[in-house]
């Protein structure tokens, strides 16, 4: 028995009239608050990115301990620090993606763009180092990040991150919000009580 059937049976037990209309309202409200399936896919891709970065860090750490990178330790430590930062950024996005806060949506978008830029820069720097097994080709990472960003810009996902009692914003407003604009002002959906 799913939640919609339980709600409709409770409404029937309470003897409320016009049950069909009320059931449709409840179904619409539940569907609006349900997490889109595409967010699960985005989480899986983010988890895959975390696995790529963690394996890269392990390989680099083993190479540093064994002395494979003699004379280039500082360069590899800097790359390792960037990779650790990217891994934690991806983990933070995985943790925040399930919350309904618009700030979490913005965090995933910004992390995606940053992952794109850092992976390309890391690949360019890694080309000059012969025999480097830790350089991840951007052709592996960029499609994953692009799919995550595309998922986050889907209409259902944006609706999921829209606060209650606020009308949905157009795509342009969400793009501005991802950059730095204020999309949802707390004053716009605050309940005000007037003294009479």
**pLDDT tens-digit series, residues 79-122:** 788 888 888 988 988 888 888 888 888 889 998 898 888 878 87
Model confidence, pTM: 0.69
Within 13 A of 17's CA, how many CA atoms are on the CB side? Answer: 0
For the chain, which residues make up each domain, given as ranges? 35-162
Q: Burial-class residue 190 by CB neighbours within 10 Å (0-12, 13-18, 19+).
A: exposed
Helix, strand, or coil (residue 44): helix
pLDDT at 5 (0 to 100): 66
Q: Tell which residue, 148, 127, 126, has the closest CA to residue 82.
A: 126
**Rama region for 70: left / alpha / beta (φ>0; ψ in -120 to 50; rest):** beta
What digits encode the pLDDT tens for the residues 6-54?
A: 666 666 666 554 555 555 555 555 555 678 888 889 989 889 888 888 8
């Amino acid at each position: 028995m799913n939640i919609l059937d339980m709600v409709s049976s409770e409404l029937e037990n309470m003897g409320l009239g016009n049950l069909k209309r009320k059931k449709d309202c409840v179904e619409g409200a539940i569907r609006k608050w349900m997490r889109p399936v595409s967010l699960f896919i985005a989480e899986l891709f983010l988890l895959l990115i975390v696995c790529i970065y963690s394996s890269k860090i392990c390989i680099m750490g083993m190479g540093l301990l064994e002395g494979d990178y003699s004379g280039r330790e500082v360069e590899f430590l800097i790359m390792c620090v960037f990779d650790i930062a990217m891994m934690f950024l991806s983990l933070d996005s995985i943790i925040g993606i399930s919350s309904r806060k618009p700030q979490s949506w913005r965090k995933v978008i910004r992390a995606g763009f940053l992952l794109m830029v850092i992976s390309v820069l890391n690949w360019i720097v890694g080309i000059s180092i012969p025999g480097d097994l830790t350089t991840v080709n951007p052709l592996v990472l960029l499609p994953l990040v692009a799919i995550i960003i595309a998922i986050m810009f889907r209409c259902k996902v944006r609706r999921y991150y829209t606060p209650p009692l606020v009308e949905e914003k157009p795509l342009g407003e969400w793009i501005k919000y991802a950059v730095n604009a204020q999309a949802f002002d707390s004053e716009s959906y605050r309940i005000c009580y007037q003294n009479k």
